[in-house]
Amino acid sequence: MRTVRTATEMQQVALSHKVGLVPTMGAFHEGHLSLMRAARAECASVVVSLFVNPTQFAANEDLELYPRDEERDARLATEVGVDVLFVPSAEELYPEGFATWVDVEEAGGEAAARPGHLRGVATVCVKLFNIVRPDVAFFGQKDAQQAAVLRRVVRDLNVDVELRVLPTVRDADGLALSSRNVYLSTAERAEALALPRALETGRSAHVQGSDPIAAARAALNGLEPDYVEVIDVGDARVLAAAARVGSTRLIDNVVLEGELR
């Protein structure tokens, strides 16, 4: 596996068609690896970007604390058969005078809870699409609204890339894998299980014809939600929630209707 650190070098790497891109912030877990394996199965060249994108963090968020271990990530990516690990610096992607943003008009959910977050995500992904020029880019259902926003960006700006959205990988007890789970103490890890359980309760309520949001809220077991909302993601409708466990903010969602693709 080759590691590339500049946009210019990345644009010059000879990749064979079809090219798959998996954008990540690193600290790989099985969720990331499942996207890389899907890319490996479908594409001739697989590029994984590893970039803790500062523009998607607000000033009071965990940018500095965010787990980083490039050596371990490179080893895991090599094992999965990734061809190129693209690891740009913040200065490389946001040079002095950077002033152009991809700002999707999105309401609710993460857009309301984290102002500027989705703008940072959309902007960095368009930059990565332009630098890597993938035919296909792979995202996780775990960040369903991010996938929805990127579908809008690709459609609205005529970006020539196909998007795939793959199912959320969970621990055996149901907690969605997340790089942020390392912040949780043992007690918090146990408390956090209320989030997937509440979403499952909401999903069952929906199946029985009652309000999934009310049912999920009632089952949060004391967790403080930022929101519990129904969000459309492409052809699917998901019940999504964000909640704080101690100082850690977790998000999760379950599909209510349709299929994520």
Catalytic residues: 32
The binding track of 142-171 with respect to ligand AMP, each residue x by CB under 6 A or -, is xx------------------------xx--
Query: Of 82, 65, 99, 109, which is closest to residue 21 (Cα–Cα)?
Result: 82
Q: Tell the smallest beta-carbon distance from residue 166 to ligand AMP (Å).
A: 6
The binding track of 83-112 with respect to ligand AMP, each residue x by CB under 6 A or -, is ------------------------------
Phi then psi for 155, rounded to 5 degrees?
Answer: -70, -50
Query: Of 58, 79, 69, 60, which is closest to residue 24 (Cα–Cα)?
Result: 69
Q: Tell the smallest beta-carbon distance from residue 195 to ligand AMP (Å).
A: 13
Is the CB of 20 or the CB of 140 nearer to ligand AMP? 140
Q: Tell the smallest beta-carbon distance from residue 18 to ligand AMP (Å).
A: 19
The string of DSSP letters for 8-63 reads HHHHHS--PSSEEEEEE-SS--HHHHHHHHHHHHH-SEEEEEE---GGGS-TTSST
Query: Total number of residues binding ligand AMP (CB under 6 A)?
Result: 16
Residues in the chain, total = 261
For residue 147, the Cα-to-chain-centroid distance in whole angstroms is 8
Please report, as residue ranges, which positions from 10 to 49 form the binding site for ligand AMP (by CB under 6 A): 24-25, 31-32, 34-35
Tell me whether strands 236-245 and 224-233 are parallel, antiparallel or unpaired: antiparallel
Is the CB of 131 or the CB of 215 nearer to ligand AMP? 131
List residues bridging with 139 in a β-sheet: 165
Q: Tell the smallest beta-carbon distance from residue 10 to ligand AMP (Å).
A: 18
Q: Which residues bind ligand AMP (CB under 6 A)?
A: 24-25, 31-32, 34-35, 139-140, 142-143, 168-169, 176-179
